[in-house]
């Protein structure tokens, strides 16, 4: 009997059972954190390194010396010491890049406070000479008043009667404890002139205080 030639058979898929099967054991999968795209930084967002350094330097200078600069302006007779000190910090912020040495920033700030206070007092003297009625007495702010004790207020009254240069020399020498060279740099005068103003101011202040007793 001739065998039939077998051709390739088509595979038949296995029968799918319709019987219910046991559910597979569930494995806890930790929930994935939602993806939050970070916004792209605009060009130059990090800023110029020199600007970053200036911001940090001035902030540090403010933290360390604001109170002492405010006290200096008060002792020198500024009627608005907060504004004087704020202007001094603004000026040093603008000129920060031109400072030869960042360590000299405190000395520059102190000199600026002295200059601004001196100019402010001169301006007020000119204004008062051209005003018919005397201006109201300046009211000290709570911040500046808190820096001073009662006996210091009496002393400030005597200090304000001294010429500006004598007052500056005494404050820088006896309240801030600066050396003659530092006082000379702050006032923009020679060391010999510092000695002269200090001696004359101390003599005048002593006489004024004795007259108040």
Cα 178 to chain centroid, rounded: 22
pLDDT tens per residue across span 137-194: 555 555 555 555 555 667 777 888 889 899 999 999 988 889 999 999 999 999 999 9
User: CA-to-CA distance for 175 and 208, rounded, in angstroms?
Assistant: 18
89-105 residues labelled b (16+ CB within 10 A) or e (exposed): bebbeeebeeeeeeeeb
User: CA-to-CA distance for 48 and 69, rounded, in angstroms?
Assistant: 29
Lowest mean pLDDT segment, chosen from 10-24, 62-76, 90-104, 120-134: 10-24
First to last CA, the chain: 151
Contact between 96 and 57 (Cβ < 8 Å): yes
Contact between 169 and 194 (Cβ < 8 Å): yes
User: pTM score, two decimals?
Assistant: 0.64
User: CA-to-CA distance for 113 and 76, rounded, in angstroms?
Assistant: 9
pLDDT tens per residue across span 33-65: 544 444 444 444 446 788 888 889 899 999 999
pLDDT at 91: 93
DSSP class of residue 172?
I
Going by pLDDT thresholds of 50, 70 and 90, the confidence category of residue 25 is very low
């Amino acid at each position: 009997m001739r065998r039939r030639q077998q051709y390739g058979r088509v595979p038949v898929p296995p029968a799918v059972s319709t019987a219910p099967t046991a559910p597979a054991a569930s494995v806890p999968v930790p929930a994935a954190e939602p993806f939050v795209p970070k916004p792209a930084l605009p060009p130059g967002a990090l800023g110029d390194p020199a600007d970053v350094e200036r911001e940090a330097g001035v902030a540090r200078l403010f933290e360390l010396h604001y109170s002492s600069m405010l006290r200096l302006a008060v002792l020198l007779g500024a009627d608005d010491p907060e504004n004087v000190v704020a202007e001094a910090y603004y000026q040093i912020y603008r000129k920060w890049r031109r400072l030869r040495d960042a360590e000299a920033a405190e000395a520059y700030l102190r000199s600026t406070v002295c200059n601004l206070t001196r100019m402010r007092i001169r301006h007020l003297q000119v204004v008062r000479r051209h005003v018919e009625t005397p201006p109201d007495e300046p009211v000290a702010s709570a911040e500046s008043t808190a820096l001073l004790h009662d006996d210091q207020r009496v002393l400030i009254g005597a200090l304000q009667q001294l010429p500006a240069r004598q007052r500056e020399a005494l404050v820088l020498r006896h309240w801030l404890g600066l050396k003659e060279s530092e006082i000379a740099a702050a006032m923009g005068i020679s060391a010999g002139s510092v000695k002269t103003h200090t001696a004359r101011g101390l003599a005048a202040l002593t006489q004024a205080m004795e007259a108040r007793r």
